Amino acid sequence: MIEKVENSLPTGTALLQDPLLNKGTAFSAEERETLGLKGLLPPKIFTMEEQVARVLENYRQKKTDLERYIHLASLQDRNETLFYRVLMDNLDEMMPIVYTPVVGQACQQFGHIFRRPRGLYISYKERGNIAEILKNWPRKDVRVIVVTDGERILGLGDQGAGGMGIPVGKLSLYTACAGISPAQCLPVMLDVGTENEGYLGDPLYLGIRQHRVRGQEFDDFVAEFMNAAKEIWPDVLIQFEDFANSNAFRLLENWRDKICSFNDDMQGTAAVSLAGLFSALRVTKKSLGEQKILFLGAGEAGIGIADLIVSAMVDEGDTLEEARAKCWFVDSKGLVVKSRDNLVEHKLRFAHDYPFEPDFLSAVKSLKPTAIIGVSTIPKTFNQEVIQTMAELNERPIIFALSNPTSKSECSAEEAYTWSDGRAIFASGSPFPPCVFKGQTYVPGQGNNAYVFPGIGLGAVACKAKTVTDRMFSQAARALADQVLESDLEMGRMYPALSRIREVSAYIGAAVAEVAFNDGVAGIEKPANVLEFVRSQQWAPEYRNYVK
């Protein structure tokens, strides 16, 4: 799908400064003549392949990952088509740069590495004028918005306005992984302040210098944004990103049935985790209903994963009570049980009538889980004794250390394989390199949300879904698991190779669209072949010929 050029095509330097239209040294002689570019470019005309070679040569000469991030961001600001060609052709190498873990470092340094604004920054001081701000965005067919307030960035905490790096990174994956046109993507920062005193005292900090707005004022501000976005772009999908627990559950509950929206930290993480679990069960030859799952961390991610697992267990025949009884949580105060006081609302449905255990290891020994899932952002909490205990309890222990970035992971791939004597079924939130144990090479699977949210967005956008439902996420998880090959499982990988992500996203998009059509929440008529229709909506990074 190639987007139409709005109004008339710019010429001269205006064309060279539009990253969606600029081709740089690839403009042909005819285009240079017709579009007023003669003399504004070096005379040699390069193919895209030659341009890619130049980019890679410079990229690979950079000394640090942060320099590589800046290099790619600068390319994106100049020439988006070339940027996506490079990224899509080198996704294994570059995804850790444009997204986790390096994007976390970029958020921490955001005010110091800032070059050029991307997306919209809407500060609390602009309340009452949000619709006018949104109308300043030059692209009129916005279909996907990723919005954050920067309060809970990865496992790094409050990054304030620096959290804008996450929506920018997420949307680059919507395009690279699923083929949603960059012209239809909009990153948004809702700047309501920050509690990070380091940033408040940093002269290069880019956000408003005040402590965070809370309560009803915060909700009213978000509501003004949501309603304005829906009015201006009626078919838009809005992804809530990295809001703190204190707001995330409420925002999702308030808006999911009013506007096509979802929370990736809760629902996207849940879908990719459930898909990994489905893949793991192909190895263990067990059913989902036979599992007992113990979570470390009871925030957005953990509760979201458990809710979707419960939904899948119910689909397979369990009652709601039976399914919930198979999911357990340890938080910062110990095992979540009914006898504990002052449990927040989202933990209550997983608070079981069971003796209290003070820590994760004692909970593992007492409950004897088949799988442990880490979403705590506390590094090294799956220590040697925990993993050895899991290996004693299970022939093939399922160990998912999902916290991001890598520095926050509950354990490394090497630790999981070594301490389990090579028997662990392992997945992580951030990438780990292959490791060799007793002569066997293991290629750990990364349970990255990028396997799921781009495809979900593609399906929702393609069929103009009115809402994003729970069933869409469970079907997305099954579609993702179905794309895992036996050769992937044999090398220890619970997810498909990233080189297949565009194809995988099309299958996920088709599964999501099928749910929308069948459940009556699609905004268009169902096509004869949903998969082919979804594929037809995928944008490709190819230069247009501007001279007919």
Give the pLDDT confidence score for residue 338 in this predicted structure: 96
Q: Could you tell me the pLDDT band of residue 300, with boundaries at 50, 70 and 90?
A: confident
Residues 5 and 21: beta-carbon distance below 8 Å: yes
Q: Kindly report, residue by residue over 362-403, the tens digit of the pLDDT.
A: 999 999 999 999 999 999 999 999 999 999 999 999 999 999
CA-based nearest residue to 512, from 548, 446, 463, 545: 463
User: Alpha-carbon distance 133 to 22, whole Å?
Assistant: 26
Helix (H) or strand (E) holding 294: strand 293-296
* pLDDT tens figures, 118-141: 999 999 999 999 999 999 999 999
pLDDT at 8 over 80: no
CA distances 519 to 410, 508, 513, 524, Å, are: 39, 17, 10, 13
Give the global pTM.
0.92
> Residue 160: is its pLDDT beyond 80?
yes
Sequence-distant (6+) residues with CB within 8 A of 389 are: 361, 364, 365
User: What is the rounded CA–CA span in Å between residue 287 and residue 278?
Assistant: 9
- pLDDT tens for 426-476 read 999 888 999 999 999 999 988 889 999 999 999 999 999 999 999 999 999
Alpha-carbon distance 58 to 390, whole Å? Answer: 46
Tell me which amino acid residue 116 is. R
**CATH of 284-447 given 1.10.600.10, 3.40.50.720, 3.30.479.30, 3.40.50.300:** 3.40.50.720
In whole angstroms, give the CA distance from residue 476 to residue 541: 25
Q: Catalytic residue at 170?
A: yes
CB 160 within 8 A of CB 193: yes
Which of 195, 20, 262 lies closest to 118 in space, CA to CA?
20
Please name the amino acid found at residue 357. E
pLDDT of 225 strictly over 70: yes
Instruction: Report residue 448 CA to chain centroid gap.
Output: 7
Cα 468 from chain centroid (whole Å): 16
Mean pLDDT for the chain overall: 95
CA distance 503 to 170: 18
Closest by alpha carbon to 229, among 339, 163, 137, 292?
A: 137
pLDDT value at 221 more than 70: yes
Residue 515, H or E segment:
helix 501-518
CATH number of 47-259: 3.40.50.10380
The Cα–Cα gap between 365 and 390 comes to: 8
Catalytic-labelled residue, pool 59, 69, 99, 543: 99
**Is the peptide bond preceding residue 101 cis, with omega within 30 degrees of 0?**
yes
**Tell me, what amino acid is at 117?**
P
Q: What confidence score (pLDDT) does residue 3 get?
A: 38
Q: If you search the block for the tokens 């004028």, which residue do you land on? A: 129
Spot the catalytic one: 69, 84, 170, 205: 170
Report cis status (omega within 30 of 0) of the bond before 234.
no
What pLDDT, on a 0 to 100 scale, did the predictor assign at position 6?
Answer: 38
Q: For 432, how many CA atoms within 13 A lie in the half-sphere containing its CB?
A: 33
Locate CATH 3.40.50.720 in the chain.
Answer: 284-447
Residue with tokens 């293991």, as numbered in its chain: 442
Domain with CATH 3.40.50.10380 in the chain: 47-259
CA dist 31 and 327 (Å) reads 61
Q: Using CA atoms, how far apart are residues 365 and 440, in angstroms rounded to an integer?
A: 29
pLDDT at residue 154 tops 90: no
CA dihedral sign of residues 361, 364, 370, 373: negative
Determine if the peptide bond prior to 496 is cis (ω within 30°): no
Q: Residue 363 corresponds to which tokens in the numbers above?
A: 């909970």
The rounded distance, in Å, linking the Cα atoms of 464 and 487 is 36
Using one digit for the tens of pLDDT, what is the confidence trace for 167-194? Answer: 999 999 999 999 999 999 999 999 999 9
Between CA 535 and CA 140 the distance in angstroms is 23
pLDDT surpassing 60 at residue 2 = no
Asked if 451 is an active-site residue, the reply is: no
Residue 5, pLDDT above cutoff 70: no
- pLDDT above 90 as % of the chain: 93
**Cβ–Cβ under 8 Å, residues 24 and 76:** no
Predicted confidence at residue 1, as pLDDT, reads 37
